[in-house]
Amino acid sequence: MSVAEILFVVAGLLLGLAFQGGMFLFLIPFAVVAFVLACMNRPRLAGPNSQSATAGLPVISLSKRATAGNPIIAPDLRSEFIGIKGLANEPEAALKVSQVWARANADINRSMTDMLLALKIVVPNVNSVIVFTQMENQKEWGIRNFANDKEISVNTCVRISETSGLLGQLFRSNVNRLLEGDLPGAKSVMYYVDNPAIKSVVAVPLIDHASGLRVGALVMDSVRPNAFNDMTARALSFVASSISMLDYKGFYSAQKHIALQQYSGLYSYLRKFFQTMTVKDIYKQIINYVKANMAYDRLTILAMDQGDDMTGRVVFCDGVDSEQFANKTFTLSDKGVFVLALMRNRPMERSFLPGFKDYLPRLNDTERKNLNLRQILVMPISAEHDSDMAEIAICLESSSSMPYNDHEKELLKAFAGVAGFAYNRARKYEKGCDQAMRDGHTGLINKKTMFEKLRSEKVRADRGKYHIGLLMMDIDHFKHVNDTYGHPIGDVVIKGIADTISKEIRGDIDVVARFGGEEFVVALIDTTAEGMVETAERIRKSVEKLVFDVHRSEPLRVTVSIGAFLLTQSFNGDLQKAINNADQALYRAKEGGRNQVVQFEKQDSEPVSV
C-alpha cells in the first residue's frame, strides 16, 4: 500500500470520528492535512510522453524521520486574537482561567507539532518547518512552533515585522506566498542561530478566519536550491489554513469554556443571594464575587444611606490608597465620577492615555490624586430595574493600558442585576423584621424583642463576668395627661420621653424598649449598682426638665418613677423574675411619692429609695 493510500484511509477515519461531534470536531484539521498530503503523493498514470509514473512531488520513503523541538508557548494563543491584559490585582478566578489557556495552548501546540512533523516527513529535503504567530504587539510575529533537525538551532526570540527582509513581505496584503530557490545565505531568513546555508524558502500567511487579517506565517526552508515548487506552495496554503482554523477553534473553545466556568461561578453566587436575608450579607457577597472574578488596582463599593436620598458612604475599599476612602461619606451634590454613575444609574467607563494630567475625581475634589490609575469601570446596582438612581455602585480602577473587555462588563452587569434584586429583597425583609421588633410610635424595640436581647446579653454577661442593670420606669400621672390634654398630646409625651431616655444611655451598648403603654425598660450592659443608679437619676432629671407645648397658658411638665435591679451572675431565676424585681422597685417608688429612683436589693428586704 502506498503512502497516498495510507493517508486517504487516515483522512477518512479522522473525518468519520469528527462527524461524531463534540470534542472530536478538533480532528477536522488533521483530516484536511491528511487529505492534502495524500493528494500530493497520489501516483499519476503515465502518459505517452511521460518519463515517470509519479506526480510532481515524489512518493516519500518513511525510513528517514526528522525530529521536532519542544512546542513554543511564548506567543500566547490569546495574543493572536486579542491583546493580553495584565492583571494588576489578579483575582482568585484568574488561576483557573490561566489553567484553561495553558491547557488550550498545550493541546494546540501538540497538534501543530504533529502537523509540522508530517510536513517534514512527506516533503523531501526540508530543513525546518516554522509557524509564526502574532505577538502582543500586533505588528510583530514570533515563533509559535517548529520542527527541524537537531543539528540546527532556531532562534525562538526572533521577531518579524514588515521591515524584516524576506519574510516581512508577507505582511503586505498583495503577497500571498513566497517561493525562493536560490537565496544568498541564512541572513535573509533571520531566524537561525548558527546561520546554515539556506537556499530555498516557501512561505504563506496565516489568515484569521473571523477578521480575514494576517496573523502569522507558515514557513518551510531547505539547504538545497530549488527544493520547492508551486505545488508545494499550494499544499502549504492548505496546511496554513488548517493551522489557522485549529488556532481559531481552539481559542474560541477555550473562551467558551472560560465563559461557562465564569457563569457557573455566577450561578453559585446567585444561589447564595437567595439564601441571604440581610443587607450586610449582600454587601459581603458582592465584595467576594468582584474580588474573585475581576482584576483591579482599587475596588470601591458605594451605598446610599437607607431612608435618605441625598447621602451615602463607602462600605468597602481595597487596593491602592484605600485608606483615604474607607468609611468616607458623600452627597449626591459631589461631582465625582462614582457619584455620577450612582445618581444616573448607568454603567460608566473611562480610559486615560499615558501621561494624562487632568485628574478625574472619584468622589469629590478633596481626595488624593493618583494618575497611575488609567481605567475606571463603575457598575451601579439598583433595587428597582427602572429606578432613576442606584443604591449601590461597584467601582473598579486599574493601572492597565487595556480597558475592561465586553465579556467582563456583561458578566458584571448580569451579576449587578441579580444583586439588585437580592438587595431589594433583603432590605424589605429587614424592614419587615424591624417593624415587627419595634414600637411603631417611638421606634424603640418592643417587649418581645427586649426579652430576646436580654437573654443573649445575659449569656454574654455570664461569660464575660459582668453585670446588667435593669431599669423599669413609668410616667407619673399619665392617665391625667390623656384625660386633660387628649391622647394626641399623650403620644407626644411618650415620644419625647423615649427620645430623652435614648440620649442618656450608650446607644451602641445599652438597650431601651417600650414595655407597655407608658412603661419603658432599659438594660444597662456591663455596669455596677452605683453606675445603674447614677444613670437612672440622670434619666429622671432629664425627663423632669422636659417642657411640652400644649397651646395653653402653662406648658406641660411630666416626671417618671424608676425601679432598678442589678442582674448579677449569681441570679439564677428567669428573666421575667428579674423584670418583676425591677417592677416591684418601681411600685415602691410610686408609693413613696413618685419622681424618684428605688433600687431592689434583696427579695426578703424592703427596696431602698434613692
DSSP 3-state percent helix, strand, coil across the chain (nearest 5): 40, 20, 40
C-alpha span between 324 and 336 (Å, rounded): 15
The set of residues, in sequence order, having a beta carbon less than 8 Å from that of 24 and lying 6+ positions away, is 17, 18
Extended beta strands in 88-140, E state: 128-134
Other C-beta atoms within 10 Å of 362: how many? 26
Please return the burial class of 230, using the count of CB atoms within 10 Å of its CB with bins 0-12, 13-18 and 19+: exposed
Beta partners for residue 394, in sequence order: 301, 379
DSSP 3-state assignment of 253? helix
Q: Which of 178, 184, 147 is nearest to 160 (CA)?
A: 178
User: Kind and range of the H or E element at 282?
Assistant: helix 279-293
Contact between residue 177 and residue 201 where contact means Cβ atoms under 8 Å apart: no
The set of residues, in sequence order, having a beta carbon less than 8 Å from that of 17 and lying 6+ positions away, is 24, 27
DSSP 3-state assignment of 502? helix
Greatest CA separation for the chain? 139
Contact between residue 300 and residue 314 where contact means Cβ atoms under 8 Å apart: yes
84-87: long-range contacts, CB 8 A cutoff, minimum separation 24: 84/136, 85/295, 85/400, 85/402, 85/405, 86/400, 86/402, 87/295, 87/400
Concerning whether 518 is annotated as a catalytic residue, the answer is yes
| DSSP-assigned letter for residue 225 | T
Please return the burial class of 602, using the count of CB atoms within 10 Å of its CB with bins 0-12, 13-18 and 19+: exposed
HSE (side-chain half, CA atoms, 13 Å) at 347? 16
Beta partners for residue 474, in sequence order: 519, 561
Contact between residue 405 and residue 82 where contact means Cβ atoms under 8 Å apart: yes
CA of residue 267 relative to chain centroid, distance: 13
C-alpha span between 12 and 32 (Å, rounded): 10
Vertex 329: Cα angle to 323 and 335 (nearest 5): 100
Q: Give phi and psi for 395, each to the nearest 5.
A: -115, 115
DSSP 3-state assignment of 287? helix
178, 180, 186, 190 alpha-carbon torsion, rounded to 10°: -10
C-alpha span between 219 and 146 (Å, rounded): 9
Q: Which residues of 35-51 are buried (b: 16+ CB within 10 A; e: fewer)?
A: bbbbbbbbeeeeeeeee
C-alpha span between 350 and 149 (Å, rounded): 51
Active-site residue identified among 180, 391, 504, 518: 518
Contact between residue 106 and residue 71 where contact means Cβ atoms under 8 Å apart: yes
**Residues known to be catalytic:** 518
